[in-house]
Amino acid sequence: MPHLSEPVLPEFMTSVRPIDFLLHLLFPDRCLFCRDLLPLSDGLPLCSSCRVKFTPAGRICPCCERFFRGEGSCTCHPVPAPLRSLYALSRYDQQWRLLLHDLKYRKRRSLARPFGVWLAREIVLQKYCVPQLVVPVPLHRHREQERGFNQSALIAGHTARALGIPCRQLLTKNKDTVSQTTISRRERRENVCGAFSCLSPPPQGSVVLLIDDIYSTGATMKEAAAVLQSSGAKVYGAVVSYNPRIN
Ligand SMILES: [Zn+2]
Ligand SMILES: [Zn+2]
C-alpha cells in the first residue's frame, strides 16, 4: 500500500480500456532503448532492465540552471520568472539524441506518444504542477510545412490527453529564425526575441504547461513563456531532454 504522502496516478491514467488492450495485442509497445516488447504499458516506456539503468533528469531552475528537488520554485529568485520552472525527462545524451533525431528528422512520429505519456506521468508523480492547459512551443509555418509536423505539438497532444486536459495552440511563431543549434547563448536570445505572439490569451491566472522537445539555453522557452505570462498565465515548462552544454 502506498505511503499516504506518496503521489499516485489518478485512476483515469492507469485504467486499461478494452481498446487499449486490443491495440496492445495488435501493436505492442516496445522499450524506447532496447526495443524489447513491453507488457501492457503503465506509461513508462522502458523494460525492467532499462528502467534500472535510467536516471531521470527532473526539475531544473531556468534562472540559475541548477537541478532542485521538492515542490514549488527554486529559492534563487524571490519573484517568479515568466518560466517558473522546468521539468526534463532526460539529459540529452547519445541515446536521447538519437531518439529525438528519429522523431524530428526521420519522422518517427510514433515516438511522440511514449514521450508525451511519460511526461504526463512524471508531472503527476513528481507533483510538478497542476496544469489546466497544455501549450506546445510552435514552429514557424515554413519549418512546420517543411517537416510536415511540429514535434512539440505531437508530444503536447499526448501529454494533455494523458492528463485529461485540453491542448491548445495558443502561440504562433512570427519570425522564421535561423536554427538555434549552431549559435551561441547570446545569439540564441537575440534570435528568438519577439519571435512569438499569442493567438488567443489563456484564461487569466491559469496554470499552463508549456511543452517543447529539447531545452538548451532556454532562450526559446523563456521567450514563449513571457508571451503567455503577459496574457495572464502561470507557465511551467516540460521537455523530453535537457541539453545544458551550450556557451
Ligand atoms: Zn529495454
Ligand atoms: Zn534557481
Going from the Cα of 60 to the center of ligand 2, the distance in angstroms, rounded, reads: 8
What is the number of other CB atoms lying within 10 angstroms of the CB of residue 89?
19
What is the number of other CB atoms lying within 10 angstroms of the CB of residue 7?
11
Task: Output the pTM of the full model.
Answer: 0.90
Going from the Cα of 86 to the center of ligand 2, the distance in angstroms, rounded, reads: 11
Going from the Cα of 101 to the center of ligand 1, the distance in angstroms, rounded, reads: 19
More confident residue, 84 or 77: 84
| Burial class (CB within 10 angstroms; exposed 0-12, middle 13-18, buried 19+) of 246 | middle
Residue in the structure block whose three cell numbers are 491566472:
205
| Ligand that lies nearest to the alpha carbon of residue 50, given by its number in the listed order | 1
pLDDT score for 6: 65
Going from the Cα of 54 to the center of ligand 1, the distance in angstroms, rounded, reads: 10
What percent of the chain is modeled with pLDDT above 70? Answer: 95
| Ligand that lies nearest to the alpha carbon of residue 53, given by its number in the listed order | 1
Surrounding residues of ion ligand 1, Cβ less than 5 A? 31, 33-34, 36, 47, 50
| Ligand that lies nearest to the alpha carbon of residue 60, given by its number in the listed order | 2
Residue in the structure block whose three cell numbers are 514552429:
139
Q: What is the mean pLDDT of residues 94-110?
A: 95
pLDDT score for 2: 46
Q: Is the pLDDT of residue 194 over 80?
A: yes
Going from the Cα of 84 to the center of ligand 2, the distance in angstroms, rounded, reads: 10
Angle, helices 112-125/151-163, rounded to nearest 10 degrees: 50
Distance CA 234, CA 99 (A): 30
Interval 232-246: pLDDT, tens: 999 999 999 999 876
pLDDT score for 39: 86
Q: Is the pLDDT of residue 1 over 50?
A: no
Which residues on neighbouring strands pair with residue 67, listed in sequence order?
60
| Ligand that lies nearest to the alpha carbon of residue 84, given by its number in the listed order | 2
Distance CA 205, CA 8 (A): 26
Amino acid at 178: V
Mind giving me the DSSP string for the chain?
Answer: ---TTS----HHHH---HHHHHHHHHS--B-TTT--B-SSP-S--S-HHHHHH----EEE-TTT--B--SSS--TT-SSPPSEEEEEEEEE--HHHHHHHHHHHTS--GGGHHHHHHHHHHHHHHTT----SEEEEPPPBHHHHHHHSS-HHHHHHHHHHHHHTS-B---EEE-S-PPPGGGS-HHHHHHHHTT-EEESSPPPTT-EEEEEEEEESSSHHHHHHHHHHHHTT-EEEEEEEEE-----
Going from the Cα of 178 to the center of ligand 1, the distance in angstroms, rounded, reads: 36
19 φ/ψ angles, rounded to the nearest 5 degrees: -65, -35
Interval 132-181: pLDDT, tens: 999 999 999 999 999 999 999 999 999 999 999 999 999 999 988 777 67
Going from the Cα of 246 to the center of ligand 1, the distance in angstroms, rounded, reads: 30
Going from the Cα of 51 to the center of ligand 1, the distance in angstroms, rounded, reads: 7
Going from the Cα of 75 to the center of ligand 2, the distance in angstroms, rounded, reads: 6
Going from the Cα of 93 to the center of ligand 2, the distance in angstroms, rounded, reads: 23
| Ligand that lies nearest to the alpha carbon of residue 30, given by its number in the listed order | 1
Question: Any idea what the Cα angle at residue 159 is, between residues 235 and 134, rounded to 5°?
Answer: 30
Q: What is the mean pLDDT of residues 88-117?
A: 95
Amino acid at 16: V
Residue in the structure block whose three cell numbers are 539529459:
91
Q: What is the mean pLDDT of residues 102-112?
A: 95
Going from the Cα of 146 to the center of ligand 2, the distance in angstroms, rounded, reads: 37
| Ligand that lies nearest to the alpha carbon of residue 67, given by its number in the listed order | 2
What percent of the chain is modeled with pLDDT above 90? Answer: 66
Going from the Cα of 89 to the center of ligand 1, the distance in angstroms, rounded, reads: 16
Q: Is the pLDDT of residue 11 over 50?
A: yes
At 105, the pLDDT band (50, 70, 90 cuts) reads very high
